[in-house]
Homo-oligomer: A and B are copies of this chain.
Amino acid sequence: MSTDAHGRPGAGSAKSRERPLLSDVPALSHAERARTLLASTSTGTLCTLAREPAGFPYGSLVTFGLAEGEPVFLVSELAEHTRNLREDGRASLLVAESRAGDPLALGRVTLLGQCAPATEGQVESARDAYLARHPGAAQYAGFSDFSFWRLAVSAVRYIGGYGRMSWIELDAWRSALPDPIAPEAAAILAHMNEDHADALPLYCRAFSPLNDILQVCMTGIDRLGFEMSVTTPSGTQTLRLPFSAPIADKTDARKALVALLKEARARLGVSPS
């Protein structure tokens, strides 16, 4: 599923931070992570097979929507990728997370499959899914040389950063849902780091072997748990802690984080401030 087996001369690298401090903490599956990424990103690279030079893989920038887990596009017959697809429908779509920082540490997913004009039965959902994300493109939808296409996903590759990658089973891909917390995550992290920074060392001390906390910052939250970047005298590590039950929204997140803080204080014998 994942690999870290590079031929490194000597130990130690940025990747050591990736290793979980606690094992068996529930985390989003790769299928869920990939679906979450596709829910928040609407631009990617469409790869088709060029007509000239013949058979070369050809990358072009596209905007897309997602209908039943499959990418849908509004393309012009004049575009290179459309002409390529008219000759050979084999295609893939690469979608990458766009945040600051090392791009190779961020998530990306490649969806492979045959890409073809939406069938009569697909065209309405394709239009709805595409225009929901790209309302400004409605003007093109009426042009005679524009049409909706759909990529029938037959293979899914997910890379979540260094050493975190897999081919996702199609059934898992189809049944996965985007993480419901993702749209709220940035706001929750900012709130916790700005207004509840005093709670974070308590989480670390109560629920992990980490004790002498020099610095800690909440770096991620999803329906199953949350992550902190924790600096101790021996270095910086990522600590993931689980919620007792999956959460569904911001209200749940607050309740879960408050409950964990209460438990942490009880374990540590710290009275509420």
Contacts and interface: CB of A to CB of B under 8 A. Distances in A.
Contacts of A110: 58-60
A266 interface: no
Interface string A71-83: 0000010101000
Contact of A45 (B55, B94, B113, B154): B94
Given A53-B112, A53-B154, A157-B80, A143 B6 contact: yes
A93 interface: yes
A180 interface: no
Most buried by B among A6, A76, A154: A6
B103 A43 contact: yes
A5 interface: yes
A146 interface: yes
Given A56-B91, A90-B55, A103-B43, A159 B7 contact: no
A159 B61 CA distance: 9
A51 to B, nearest CB: 11
B59 A7 contact: no
A143 B59 contact: no
A91 B57 contact: yes
B145 A7 contact: yes
A209 interface: no
Interface string A117-145: 00000000000000000001001101111
A112 B7 contact: no
A59 B110 CA distance: 6
A70 B90 CA distance: 27
Given A45-B45, A102-B136, A112-B50, A6 B59 contact: no
B144 A96 contact: no
Interface of A: 3, 5-9, 13-14, 43-50, 52-53, 55-61, 63, 76, 78, 80, 90-94, 96, 98, 102-104, 108, 110, 112-113, 136, 139-140, 142-146, 154-155, 157, 159
22 contacts: A3-B78, A6-B140, A44-B59, A45-B59, A45-B94, A47-B57, A49-B55, A50-B92, A53-B90, A53-B112, A56-B90, A56-B91, A57-B91, A58-B112, A59-B59, A59-B92, A60-B159, A61-B103, A61-B159, A80-B157, A98-B98, A102-B136
